[in-house]
Homo-oligomer: A and B are copies of this chain.
Amino acid sequence: MERIKPRTLSGFMELLPAPQMQMERFMETLRKTYSLYGFTPLDTPAIESAEVLLAKGGGDTEKQIYRFNKGDADLALRFDLTVPLAKYVALHANELSFPFRRYQIGKVYRGERAQRGRFREFYQADIDIIGDGKLDILNEAEIPAIIYKTFQTLGLSRFQIRVNNRKILNGFYAMQGLTEKSGDIMRSVDKLDKIGPEKVGLILMEDCGLTQEQKDEILKFIAISGTNEEVLTALEGYRGRNEIFDQGLEELKAVTAYLSQFGVPQENFAVDLTIARGLDYYTGTVYETTLLDHPEIGSVCSGGRYDNLAEYYTDRQLPGVGISIGLTRLFYVLGEQKLLNPALPTAPADALVLPMTSDPGPAIAVATSLREAGIRTQVYMEQKKFKQKMSYADKLGIPYAVLLGEDEIAAGKCSVKDLTTGQQVTVSYEEAAELIQQGIREKNSGAVILEN
């Protein structure tokens, strides 16, 4: 037979079982945390009509989209979870209750240039709150508070949620008579972290056509820094010159104050006037999240407030606020940085039952009893030497072996061997379950991420 060389497409993550277990745990933490805040899980198709998916049209993403025909249908794979959410909410608006709080963890597709650590198929993990006509500012503080809680639950503490408000930026540009150019300016300022203020200044003058004075004003403005208190105080100096600016400042102050009420520590969030999310459709609060020890990764969780989620599909006004974690990339980077807690079990089973007589009955009985206690149990069923069976448990990192020899079977007992310590005890099935349960609980008690 002619054989085809097996391969996985480049840019597509396919994990071995042990890292896959780490990924599952990661996703499980997200699901659980999001659920605790009353978000409902959603699942939408990976394929949509191209017309629907590209309603907003154009932009850099369009080239990256996987688009194809099937019969007469012009189809495309989703490139984010926000457009499908907009479609979903517009389509089902009359059947939903608002505010509509949903989370979605799903694969999205972008045919980007292949590059180490860049993925063409990747998970996004999104939460959004959609209002019907109106949405309280409190939601704009709750969203980053949930992200704080999520990251904290994962085991991270060295991260910062950076918050800004597009109205402050828009109002400020209006003060300078630069409203027309605000889009271009924001996109340029967005590069500040990467290229520094001097080069941004050059771009502002050469590409955006700003005067020296306008450029200086902008660089001065985005240089405002310090504690949240200090930044807000500096912003007060601009008050009264533009209505949109004043409104944005009020919102930013409210979000900052509420973030403290939501229990987010001062060191984990910062007002940062350089955050603009230039290319997106945000209209108010915007967020980015950086890992303090790994600024090179860029934002691992971004989002913001938008006034009109589904404007391409419906005239019903649906304002919202949301945030997205680029899960696959974050997981990849954490793995590369060796930040995934190696102490957490990655074995497919907690216990491996080794029958040592020809009748599998007792092995099946003890396995059933362990499973009833919630212990993930495999019966080793192949005809192999004892040493090979133990080596199987060892390679997979299964923490407990349960041995059933003739003596154990005669006594209605089993021997439990802790494969980490080598300790072995002969106990009843119930005692075996308790012993393993306790050990597993301890082994599973750590967080997904181990920072230091």
Contacts and interface: CB of A to CB of B under 8 A. Distances in A.
A366 B87 CA distance: 35
A136 interface: yes
A381 B69 CA distance: 45
A439 interface: no
A14 B51 contact: no
A313 interface: yes
Nearest to A398: B38
Interface stretch (A157-165, A258-266, A441-449): A258-266
A116 interface: no
B392 A97 contact: yes
B37 A382 contact: no
Nearest to A370: B36
A235 to B, nearest CB: 24
A169 interface: no
A101 interface: yes
Nearest to A368: B263
Interface stretch (A19-27, A187-195, A419-427): A19-27
Contacts of A371: 36-37
Contacts of A71: 111
A13 B121 CA distance: 21
Given A23-B43, A73-B9, A97-B395, A4 B51 contact: yes
Contacts of A36: 371, 374-377
Contact of A377 (B38, B52, B375): B38
A210 B95 CA distance: 58
Given A14-B44, A23-B43, A52 B6 contact: yes
Nearest to A14: B44
A66 interface: yes
A6 B382 contact: no
B16 A95 contact: yes
A24 B48 contact: no
Given A87-B8, A95-B16, A70 B75 contact: no
A375 B42 CA distance: 20
A131 B382 contact: yes
B1 A90 contact: no
Contact of A378 (B15, B43, B48, B101): B101
21 contacts: A4-B313, A6-B87, A6-B88, A6-B313, A7-B49, A8-B48, A8-B91, A9-B75, A12-B47, A16-B96, A20-B41, A21-B40, A35-B376, A37-B376, A102-B348, A134-B382, A138-B360, A138-B379, A139-B381, A258-B360, A263-B364
